[in-house]
């Protein structure tokens, strides 16, 4: 089992796989130098990116993230205000601060971009190497950023989900999860809550407090997005739209001619505009799809008269269970399976969670989650300019509105008699992703990215001549 807090993590925009993951990988390599007693011997570090990370890294802030990670920063606590000065120091003075040491580092020669090469296990590959004064390699390590901020080494690939702690209600599939619910007469949120208590050794109140903190972080991101204006960075000159759209909806609300289900679209766009601006968001389950679950949850809190704090927490517990199923049985990486693995998964999580929040049975929850993914199958990841802006921001809004409708639709039926199960649609999504051309999987080599042919402008890092 993995924890729902591995699914819901405080991260840094604009991408969990291309920003959060590379920063964590770089920090892990920096840690390994210290752990292996090599810090004093290191005279040069070389960082290399491959595949999707190389092709869309500029627009995703990958190279910034690597530099900050090598200096020991992590996505959840890196001081945002300090980032520009630190990056300027590295690129202009060619100085990397490595665990108390100042090391010469030139991005032009020490940060290599291999857009025409992909490492064998995943499209998001990185290699870090450290050399001594004689040019001898002291240590080299390959990492893969496998989606949602998860990072694994080459040696640990495929084993990242193993946890030894026993849980009371283990499940590896939706069928097993539903069986646990039937056997114990529990809702999905109750199964997950018991498992989280076992995984962390915490009380119910402590687990619920952590879930509530995630909900508050999501809420805060919506408010920041609705309160910010101007153009997003990256060179496309995409204007933030959420604040103006929200203002128009408020005016229409006063005239009583507005459909309230337009609100979750605006909430989702607000979050993803924050993400595109490099702000703090909650991976849900990724940054590129970070707006969907917060939007549906905020809509529930605001417009459902039966909403309560406990039901808000149950919403996220249920969403986390569905996310675990996708993470353990398929993929949540756009570079691996396309946007169906990001926006599709987030929509599935949100639809199932909303179904439970409004009174659905476990079977109805499964039905809602299945329908949401069924209608995202084959969704490509073709970001214009490698930026998480077009079509990502609007796509989150559309998926949020879809999740609400499918969650409500599921409660009109008992969930039995469906021809396709959640387990089957998860496997179909994985196979569809495997069959999808690589050019449509977060490479910006096809689709809208080619149609508009826009090149990103680096937000803060520019490669300099040494």
What mean pLDDT comes out for the span 23-31?
96
Domains of the chain (ranges; CATH) run 14-156 (3.30.1330.90), 174-446 (1.10.4100)
What mean pLDDT comes out for the span 222-227?
96
Quote the crossing angle between the two packed helices 188-200 and 204-226, to the nearest 10°: 110
Q: Which residue, chain included where needed, has tokens 């396709």?
A: 420
> What whole-number distance in Å separates Cα of residue 129 and Cα of residue 139?
6
CB 418 within 8 A of CB 370: yes
Q: Is omega for the bond preceding 14 within 30 degrees of 0, making it cis?
A: yes
Q: Which residue, chain included where needed, has tokens 């909806």?
A: 249
> What whole-number distance in Å separates Cα of residue 116 and Cα of residue 36?
32
Q: What is the pLDDT of residues 82-111, one digit of tens each?
A: 999 999 999 999 999 998 899 999 999 999
The band of 11, judged by pLDDT with boundaries at 50, 70 and 90, is confident
The confidence score (pLDDT) of residue 257 equals 63
As a whole number, the mean pLDDT across the chain is 92
Residue 460: is its pLDDT beyond 50?
no
Torsions phi, psi of 112, nearest 5? Answer: -100, 140
What mean pLDDT comes out for the span 458-466?
33
Residue 455 tokens read as: 């090149």
What mean pLDDT comes out for the span 374-396?
96
The confidence score (pLDDT) of residue 138 equals 97
The band of 461, judged by pLDDT with boundaries at 50, 70 and 90, is very low
| Separation in Å, CA 261 to CA 243, 297, 430 | 17, 13, 31
Closest Cα partner for 433 from 391, 376, 363? 376
Percentage of residues in the chain with pLDDT exceeding 90? 83
The confidence score (pLDDT) of residue 39 equals 92
Residue 158 tokens read as: 């495929």
The confidence score (pLDDT) of residue 458 equals 47
The band of 449, judged by pLDDT with boundaries at 50, 70 and 90, is very high
- ∠ CA 95-79-60, nearest 5°, is 75
pTM of the prediction?
A: 0.89
> What whole-number distance in Å separates Cα of residue 149 and Cα of residue 22?
8
What mean pLDDT comes out for the span 232-237?
91
159 phi-psi bin (left φ>0, alpha ψ -120 to 50, beta other) = alpha
Q: What is the pLDDT of residues 332-371, one digit of tens each?
A: 999 999 999 999 999 999 999 999 999 999 999 999 999 9
The confidence score (pLDDT) of residue 12 equals 87
What mean pLDDT comes out for the span 162-183?
90
CB 78 within 8 A of CB 26: no
Q: What is the pLDDT of residues 390-444, one digit of tens each?
A: 999 999 999 999 999 999 999 999 888 889 999 999 999 999 999 999 999 999 9
The confidence score (pLDDT) of residue 44 equals 96
């Amino acid at each position: 089992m993995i924890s729902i807090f591995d699914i819901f993590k405080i991260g840094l925009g604009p991408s969990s796989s291309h920003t959060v993951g590379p920063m964590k990988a770089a920090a892990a390599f920096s840690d390994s130098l210290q752990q292996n007693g090599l810090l004093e011997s290191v005279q040069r570090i070389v960082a290399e990116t491959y595949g999707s990370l190389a092709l869309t890294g500029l627009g995703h802030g990958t190279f910034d993230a690597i530099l900050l990670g090598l200096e020991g920063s992590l996505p959840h606590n890196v001081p945002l205000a300090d980032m520009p000065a630190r990056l300027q120091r590295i690129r202009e003075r060619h100085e990397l601060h490595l665990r108390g040491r100042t090391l010469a580092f030139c991005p032009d020669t020490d940060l290599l971009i291999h857009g025409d090469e992909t490492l064998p296990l995943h499209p998001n590959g990185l290699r870090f190497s450290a050399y001594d004064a004689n040019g001898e390699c002291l240590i080299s390590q390959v990492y893969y950023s496998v989606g949602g901020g998860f990072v694994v080494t080459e040696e640990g690939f495929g084993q990242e989900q193993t946890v030894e702690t026993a849980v009371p209600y283990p499940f590896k599939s939706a069928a097993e999860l539903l069986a646990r619910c039937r056997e114990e007469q529990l809702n999905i949120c109750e199964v997950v809550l018991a498992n989280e208590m076992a995984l962390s050794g915490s009380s119910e109140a402590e687990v619920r407090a952590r879930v509530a903190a995630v909900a508050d972080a999501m809420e805060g991101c919506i408010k920041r997005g609705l309160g910010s204006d101007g153009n997003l960075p990256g060179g496309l000159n995409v204007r933030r739209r959420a604040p103006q759209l929200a203002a128009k909806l408020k005016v229409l609300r006063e005239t009583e001619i507005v459909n309230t289900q337009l609100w979750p679209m605006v909430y989702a766009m607000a979050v993803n505009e924050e993400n595109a601006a490099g702000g703090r968001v909650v991976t849900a389950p990724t940054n590129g799809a970070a707006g969907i679950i917060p939007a549906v949850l905020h809509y529930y809190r605001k417009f459902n008269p039966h909403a309560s704090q406990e039901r808000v927490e149950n919403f996220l517990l249920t969403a986390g269970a569905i996310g675990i199923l996708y993470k353990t049985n398929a993929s949540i990486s756009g570079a691996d399976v396309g946007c169906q693995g990001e926006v599709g998964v987030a929509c599935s999580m949100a639809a199932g969670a909303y179904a439970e929040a409004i009174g659905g049975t476990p079977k109805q929850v499964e039905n809602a989650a299945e329908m949401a993914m069924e209608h995202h199958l084959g969704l490509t990841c073709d970001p214009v300019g490698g930026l998480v802006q077009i079509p990502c921001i609007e796509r989150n809004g559309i998926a949020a509105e879809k999740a609400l409708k499918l969650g409500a639709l599921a409660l009109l039926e008992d969930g039995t008699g469906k021809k396709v199960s959640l387990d089957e649609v998860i496997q179909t999504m994985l196979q569809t992703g495997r069959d999808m051309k690589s050019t449509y999987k977060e490479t910006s080599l096809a689709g809208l990215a080619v149609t508009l042919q826009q090149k990103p402008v680096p937000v803060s890092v520019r490669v300099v001549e040494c």
